[in-house]
Each structure stands twice: as structure tokens, then as C-alpha cells.
Amino acid sequence: MTVRVAICDGPLTETARIQTTGDDGAVVVFEGIVRRLEEGRPISGLTYEVYSPMAENLLQELAQSLIRDFGVTTVVVEHSRGFVPVGQCSFRLVVSGWHRQEVFRASQWFVDRLKEDVPIWKKPVPEDTTADEAG
């Protein structure tokens, strides 16, 4: 059983790799990508504010819940802090397990809880703002 949680500065560039056990038959990779339109308005990206260490602690607890309650074997979570341009990845969840059913269910549950409980906030950056100005 493997759980890994990381908050990273800026966009997530490298695809997370996981070592499956040989018993695993399914791996789901979910990536959240910054959209060009935020509430109908064009943006250059999103700036993410993270309350540490509470955010990391909660992500770790949610990941442990997937292992305990859904029976998956590996959970890798990465989330950006700071500015992420349009089209780039700000959140990545990788879950592996024996069968696709529990892996899909676990992934959906995790993202729902993340959006409900984890103290991370996005702030839209208007289209004509540079990355430096966005902070």
C-alpha cells in the first residue's frame, strides 16, 4: 500500500509514475486542467492559495481512506500552489487497485471530498495579467 501527497509550486509538469504490485488490474489517472474561461470570462490562469499544513494533512487522510474503505492499493495526490496558466495541470490523482470498479469509485469520491473540504482556493487571473503580476 502506497500513499504519496505533494503540494508543488506552479503547474504540475511531470506525470506521476506509480509502481503497481502485479496484483493491480486498474490504474486511474485524473488531471485537473485550468480552463480558458472562468465563470464565462477569459483568464490567463489561476492562482492557488494553500493553507499548509492543514491541506496536506487532509489530503493524506483522504488518501488513507481510499486504502482503508475502498480497498485500493496506491494513491498519489499532487496539487499546485501559486500560478498555473491556462491549459496546464493543477491537480493530479493517481489510484491503482485490483479492479476498475473500486478504482473509479475511489477516484470520484476523493475529488468530491477535495472540492468540499481541503483548504485550497483558486483565484482567477485576468487574461491580460502576466504570471509575475499574478504572483
Partner 1 sequence: MDQVDQIKQGTSGSLRVLLFGAEATLLGTSEISVPAEEGIRTVGDLRNWLANRHGKLGPLMNQIRVAVNHRFAADDTPLGPDDEIALIGKVSGG
CB of 107 to partner 1, least distance (A): 12
- Say how far apart CA 96 and CA 110 lie, in whole Å: 13
Nearer to partner 1, 4 or 123 (CB): 123
Q: Closest distance between partner 1 and the C-beta of residue 25, in Å?
A: 26
d(C-alpha 86, C-alpha 94), whole Å: 22
Adjacent-strand bridge partners of 32: 91
Which residues, at least 6 apart from 87, have a Cβ–Cβ distance to it below 8 Å? 33, 34, 36
- Show the site string, 70-109: x = touches partner 1 by CB under 8 A, - = not: ---------x----------xx------------------
The verdict on 49 binding partner 1 (CB under 8 A) reads yes
120 binds partner 1 (CB under 8 A): yes
Structural contact between residues 30 and 93, judged by C-beta atoms closer than 8 angstroms: yes
User: What does the binding site for partner 1 look like in residue numbers (CB under 8 A)?
Assistant: 32, 48-51, 53-55, 57, 79, 90-91, 111, 114-123
